[in-house]
Amino acid sequence: MKKVLLLRPRGFCAGVVRAIDVVKLALEAYGPPIYVRKEIVHNRHVVEELRRAGAIFVDELDEAPEGARVIFSAHGVAPSVREQARQRNLEVIDATCPLVTKVHLEAVRFARLGYTIVLIGHRDHDEVIGTLGEAPHCTVVVSSIEEVDRLEPPDPQRVAYITQTTLSLDETRHIVERLRERFPALQGPAAQDICYATENRQLAVKAVAPLCQLLLVVGSQNSSNSRRLVEVARNAGVTAHLVDDASELQPQWFEGVDTVAVTAGASAPEHLVQELVRDLLRRGFDHVEEVNLKDEDVRFTLPPQLIQVSSRLTAMER
């Protein structure tokens, strides 16, 4: 019998749900055009759907007309971007994930206390770019143990670390351990920065790794948390592939495979997962078993200017 192990939790996290709702509510309340700086979340299908609904995605604020309504993506922005928005009289709706905001506040706190801040993350990721902007004069980005070994802070007794929220748990732990070896007085966040959804999806992959020969992760190539799921599976000895949707499946992947595990990154819509499962059924994987590792019930409140809009639209639907 060939089967599919469908992992839970998978797909949208609370921050992604909030960010997408922000764009949809803004379009309903104010009508297009609504400008969005960068991709609201890192998923091609989500961005295209919102673009069809009237959202205009821009790389920089000067691509939006002065006085326009602009949404900041879930990944957060640097203070310089907020200042630019003020100078251009843009009406900003902030969809930054609250867990990313937490990391920004930690950067500000450590900077005020005079620490060298080690930001563990990927330099070209939107979240890291935004966080780095909080204290660029005293923050250094590292993504490996080798880069930790090259650090030469002004005061080794005053070093603190923060992290991108979508990293590999294991890789980050090793980097923090090395930081602590080099700088015994190392300070860090009161609670880990890696978000609950990233952690839960990685733990689910680890749990099913001994039970499958192949793991498929639904998510876009620029989604950090999705790419980490592939890494976690491969580190556990399981062949894994990241696909935007079922159209990217390759027949040779399934040769000699009896059990396929399926999960999705935190910005991947559930309908893409279901389409992929239907494709697997057509390939002979005729038994689908849902594996639930943990229930998630996290919810984030909307930005203040959209709370009343949401209530009004809900009332109109009744």
Q: Is 127 a catalytic residue?
A: yes
* The pLDDT of residue 311: 67
Provide the pLDDT for residue 158.
98
- Both 202 and 288 in one domain: the answer is yes
Q: Kindly report the CA angle at 102 between 98 and 108, in degrees rounded to 5?
A: 140
103 shares a domain with 139: yes
The CATH number of whichever domain residue 26 belongs to comes to 3.40.50.11270
User: How many angstroms separate the first and last alpha carbons of the chain?
Assistant: 47
Asked whether residue 189 is assigned to any structural domain, the reply reads: no
User: Does residue 117 sit in the same domain as residue 157?
Assistant: yes
Across the beta sheet with 159-163, the strand order is: 139-142, 116-120, 159-163
Instruction: Supply the pLDDT for residue 314.
Output: 63
Domain count of the fold of the chain: 3
- Same domain membership, residue 33 and residue 7: no
| Stretches in the chain below the pLDDT threshold 50 | none
Residue 226 inside a domain? The answer is yes
User: What's the CA gap between 257 and 73, in Å, rounded?
Assistant: 39
Rounded to whole angstroms, how far apart are CA atoms 221 and 96?
A: 21
> Are residues 259 and 204 located together in one domain of the fold?
yes
Task: Give me 253's structure tokens.
Answer: 């992947």
Structure tokens, 202: 């990685």
Please give the residue range of the domain that contains residue 103: 99-182
Torsion sign over Cα 295, 191, 303, 63:
negative
CA distance 292 to 270: 15
Q: Which of 49, 60, 63, 127 is catalytic?
A: 127
pLDDT attached to residue 305: 87
Give the pLDDT confidence score for residue 310 in this predicted structure. Answer: 67
Asked whether residue 152 is assigned to any structural domain, the reply reads yes
Residues 204 and 273 in one domain: yes
Residue 60 region by backbone torsions, left for phi larger than 0, else alpha for psi between -120 and 50, else beta:
beta
Q: Among the three residues 182, 211, 231, which one is the final residue of a domain in this structure?
A: 182
237 occurs within a structural domain: yes
Question: Treating both helix axes as pointing N-terminal to C-terminal, what angle do 304-317 and 14-30 enclose, rounded to 10 degrees?
Answer: 70
The reply to whether 129 and 213 lie within a common domain is no
The residue whose two tokens read 């948390």 is 225
Are 126 and 89 part of one and the same domain?
no
Q: What is the pLDDT of residue 308?
A: 77
Domain contains 175: yes
Residues 89 and 60 in one domain: yes
